[in-house]
Amino acid sequence: MLLASMLSLHVWGQTKLTAQQQNQILEKIEKAASASTSMQCDFTQTKSMKLLSKEMQSKGMMYFKQPNKLRWQYTSPYDYTFIMNGDKVTMKSSKSTQNIDVQGNKIFRQITKIILNCITGGGLRSAADFQVEVYKSDNGYFAKLYPKKKELKQLYQVIEITFNQQLTMVSGVKMVEKTGDVTTVKLLNVKNNPSINESTFAVR
Amino acid sequence: MKARLLFVNLLLFCCLVSCFAQDVSSKDYNLFMQIRGREITALCVMEVKADSTIVGTVVNEFGVKAFDFSFANGKAKVFNMIAFLDKWYIRKVLRGDFSFILSNIGSGRDAVKKKRRLTVLSNGDICVSNDRYNIHYTFTPMSSKP
């Protein structure tokens, strides 16, 4: 019993950092984020829903180039590609291709900003849309982002960004929706500063 | 005696496992919606319970929920709708459309009811039209590619 309690404390042990410690950690992450000019990785996405007994799992590839070029491509079990290139976004599925100008769409502008923050870990100190809390756990550091604005509050309770041990990049993102459903994204096989062809981010 | 008890236990265990295995079956679809000229792609995941009740969800490819639904006794309910869709008239249309869709989607046959039509294409796609509101749904069974 005692051993079980100790183990559970060990697993669940997480400490909220003081404002000063938080600032230092986020500064370190932002420095690493701004030093990274490009990034490429695989990802897995798992969604667990209160209503359904099984989880939805998908996977794909991600390419990112500073300051705002992103290709987020699902390859299994469905094909779907999201490309952001500055203010332009293209979403391609097997049945349709849609182009959006982010400047003219407030929700989309917020979502693309969140995606970029979640991928690089940068911009968290000045994130006006969220109240940010940083925690230390046995596995390293993670940030909890509580939405401040109405539009985001309607979508998410909290977004958790986990950083790698060296605090140089994001290793995973967990998004908890208002309904309690949880989407977890893990970044795998991360390559920092690879050379990525511009055509990867081509939008129509 | 021990061996017999062990055999009975094993038999019970196997029965229990097979009961639970048959408890729920799930179907995953890529969903393509055309609403008065606007196009939306999403995923529709549903589970058919042992009592034939259906529960499911419609989410976008990033996993953000649009709405949940349930279906029992020929009637669908929609709930947990994303804020910007959560209007009584949208809920009403979706409730009607999903009652029709979920009544017929498993039959493998075409169906018509008033202004709603369901067509099963040779490639496996299931197309549903609500002619009154000019809404079209295409359900494409999701491949189980690894």
How high is the pLDDT of residue B15? 42
Disruptive mutation site among B65, B69, B78, B85 for chain A (greatest number of A CBs within 10 Å): B65
Measure in Å the smallest separation between the Cα of B124 and chain A Cα atoms.
15
Residue partners of A115: CB distance under 8 A and separation at least 6:
A70, A72, A84
Helix (H, G, I), strand (E, B) or coil at B54: strand
| B83 vs A: CB within 8 A | yes
Q: Verify whether the Cβ–Cβ distance B145 to A175 is below 8 Å.
A: no
| Closest in A78, A155, A179 to B30, CB measured | A78
Interface contact flag, A52 B55, Cβ < 8 Å: yes
Is A91–B41 a contact, with Cβ atoms under 8 angstroms apart?
yes
Shortest Cα distance, chain A CAs vs residue B83, angstroms:
6
Cβ of A95 within 8 Å of Cβ of B61? The answer is: no
Residues of B in contact with A183 (CB under 8 A): 62-64
Length of chain A, please? 204
Considering only the beta carbons, identify the residue of A49, A94, A95 that sits closest to B57. Answer: A49
pLDDT at B29 over 80: yes
Q: Which amino acid is at B26?
A: S
Residue with tokens 């709708």: B81
Out of A52, A77, A155, the one facing B142 most closely (by C-beta) is: A77
pLDDT in tens, A99-146: 988 887 777 777 777 787 777 777 777 677 889 999 998 888 999 999
In the predicted model, what is the mean pLDDT of residues A61-76? 93
- State mean pLDDT over A91-98: 89
Question: How confident is the model over B60-84, as pLDDT tens digits?
Answer: 998 989 999 999 999 999 999 998 8
DSSP-based three-state secondary structure for A78: coil
How far is B38 from chain A, CA to nearest CA, in Å? 10
CA atoms of A132 and B33, how far apart (whole Å) = 37
Predicted confidence (pLDDT) at residue B4 exceeds the cutoff of 90: no
Alpha-carbon distances of A166 from A28, A43, A134, A139, B108, rounded to whole Å: 10, 20, 15, 11, 54
CB contact under 8 A, B26 and A76: no
